[in-house]
Every structure is written in C-alpha cells, then in structure tokens.
Amino acid sequence: MPKYHFEIADGITLPDPVGTDCRNDEHARREAQAIAVQIARDLGDRELRSVVVVDDEGEELYRVPIKA
C-alpha cells in the first residue's frame, strides 16, 4: 500500500515524517479533506493554511485549503 504524507502549510510547512498508508491517490485526497475539516473545527480558519498531500517520492499531489 502506498504511503502518503499529510503536511500542514501555513507560511511554514510542518512535515509529516511518518506518513499514512492509503489505497491510492483518491483515498489520500479524501483523508486530506477530512484532516482539513478537523483542523478547521479545532483551530478555526486562517488564510493560507492548507493540508498538503505528498507521495513517498516527495511529489505534491494535492493541496486542500482549511476553511471554517
């Protein structure tokens, strides 16, 4: 199963050094959306904050904005 990293970008990127196994790119995108929703609930909306999905080779696949 491929590993994806869910980084938080807010002007500075907080890396996800461990990563998460996901079935495919679509599954990783849905996970990123769920993470973005949870962060918005916990911390509120802040412009430029997003969840960035990076594959195991370091390539950015998706960027999901965090919105309250």
In the predicted model, what is the mean pLDDT of residues 28-32? 95
Burial (CB count within 10 angstroms: exposed 0-12, middle 13-18, buried 19+), residue 24: exposed
Residue 25, sorted as left (phi over 0), alpha (psi -120 to 50) or beta, turns out to be alpha
Please compute, for residue 29, the number of CA atoms within 13 A of its CA located in the half-sphere on the CB side: 5
Over pLDDT 90: what percentage of the chain? 60
- 46 pLDDT band (50/70/90 cuts)? low
Sketch the domain layout of the chain as residue ranges. 3-65
pLDDT band at 48 (very low <50, low <70, confident <90, very high): low
pTM: 0.81
